[in-house]
Structure 1
Amino acid sequence: MIQQPFGRTGWQVPLLSFGAQRIVDEHNCSEQEAIQIVNRAIDRGITYFDTAPSYSDGQSETRLGLALKGRRDEVMIATKTSDRTRDGSWRLLEGSLKRLQTDHVEEWRLHNIRTIEELDACFAQGGALQALREAQEQGIVKKLSISGHTNPQVLVEAIRRYEFDSALVALSALDHHIYSFAHEFVPLALEKGMAIIGMKVFALGKLGPWYEQALRYTLSLPISTSIVGMETMEQLEKNLAIAESFQPMSELERLEFWKEIMHLATPETLPWKAEEWGGDAWYRRAQ
Structure 2
Amino acid sequence: MEMRTLGRSGIEVSPVGFGCWAIGGPFSNPAGEPLGWGEVDDQESVRAIRRAVELGVTFFDTADVYGAGHSERVLGQALEGIRDQVVIATKWGNTFDESTRVMYHQDTTPEYVHKAVRASLDRLGTDYIDLYQLHFDTTDEIALPLREACEELVREGLIRAYAWSTDTVHSAELFAQGKHCAAVQHEASVLHDAPEFFALCEREDLASINRTPLGMGILGRRDASKPATGADIRTLPPAWLRYFSDGGVPAPEWWEKVAAIREILESDGRTLAQGALGWLWARSPRTVPIPGFRTVEQAEQNAAAMTHGPLEQEQLTEIASLLAE
1:199 aligns with 2:211: yes
1:47 aligns with 2:71: no
Structure 2 partner of 1:279: none
Which of 69, 75, 78 is the aligned partner of 1:67? 78
1:36 aligns with 2:32: no
Post-superposition shift, 1:15? 0.7
Aligned residue pairs, count = 249
Q: Provide closer, same or farther for how the CA distance between residues 232 and 217 of structure 1 changes in structure 2, counting only shifts above 3 A.
A: same
One-letter code of the match for 1:188?
L
Which of 102, 108, 123 is the aligned partner of 1:99? 123
Post-superposition shift, 1:221? 2.3
Post-superposition shift, 1:253? 1.5
2:186–2:211 Cα contact (<8 Å) kept: yes
Q: Provide closer, same or farther for how the CA distance between residues 156 and 174 of structure 1 changes in structure 2, counting only shifts above 3 A.
A: farther
- Which deviations, in whole Å up to 9, do the C-alpha atoms of 1:34-56 show, x marking residues without a partner? 11111111111111111111111
1:252 aligns with 2:276: no
Which of 175, 178, 182 is the aligned partner of 1:162? 178
The 5 A counterparts of 1:1-287 are 1-26=1-26, 27-82=38-93, 83-113=107-137, 115=138, 117=139, 119-123=140-144, 127-148=145-166, 150-159=167-176, 161-163=177-179, 164-176=181-193, 180=194, 183-209=195-221, 210=262, 211=272, 212-222=274-284, 223-246=286-309, 248-261=310-323
- Which deviations, in whole Å up to 9, do the C-alpha atoms of 1:136-167 show, x marking residues without a partner? 1100111121221x3334323442x4342111
- Which deviations, in whole Å up to 9, do the C-alpha atoms of 1:228-286 show, x marking residues without a partner? 1111112111112222221x2223312333455558xxxxxxxxxxxxxxxxxxxxxxx
- TM-score (norm. length: structure 2): 0.71
Post-superposition shift, 1:99? 0.5
- Aligned identity (percent) is 29
One-letter code of the match for 2:141?
D
Structure 2 partner of 1:282: none
- Which deviations, in whole Å up to 9, do the C-alpha atoms of 1:95-141 show, x marking residues without a partner? 1111001111111111243x5x2x43121xxx322321111110011
Q: Give the Cα separation in 1 of the matches to 2:70 and 2:178.
A: 31
Q: Give the Cα separation in 2 of the matches to 1:93 and 1:141.
A: 9
One-letter code of the match for 2:42?
E
RMSD over aligned CA atoms reads 2.0
Post-superposition shift, 1:25? 3.0
Structure 1 partner of 2:32: none
Post-superposition shift, 1:215? 1.6
Q: Give the Cα separation in 1 of the matches to 2:116 and 2:17.
A: 23
Long gaps (5+) in structure 2: 27-37, 94-106, 222-261, 263-271
2:63–2:91 Cα contact (<8 Å) kept: yes
1:24–1:231 Cα contact (<8 Å) kept: no
Q: Provide closer, same or farther for how the CA distance between residues 128 and 39 of structure 1 changes in structure 2, counting only shifts above 3 A.
A: same
Long gaps (5+) in structure 1: 264-287
2:282–2:313 Cα contact (<8 Å) kept: no
Post-superposition shift, 1:224? 4.6
1:207–1:214 Cα contact (<8 Å) kept: yes
Q: Give the Cα separation in 2 of the matches to 1:142 and 1:7.
A: 12
1:153–1:184 Cα contact (<8 Å) kept: no
Instruction: State the SS of the aligned residue for 1:198.
Output: strand
- Which deviations, in whole Å up to 9, do the C-alpha atoms of 1:67-106 show, x marking residues without a partner? 1111111111111122421111222111111100111111
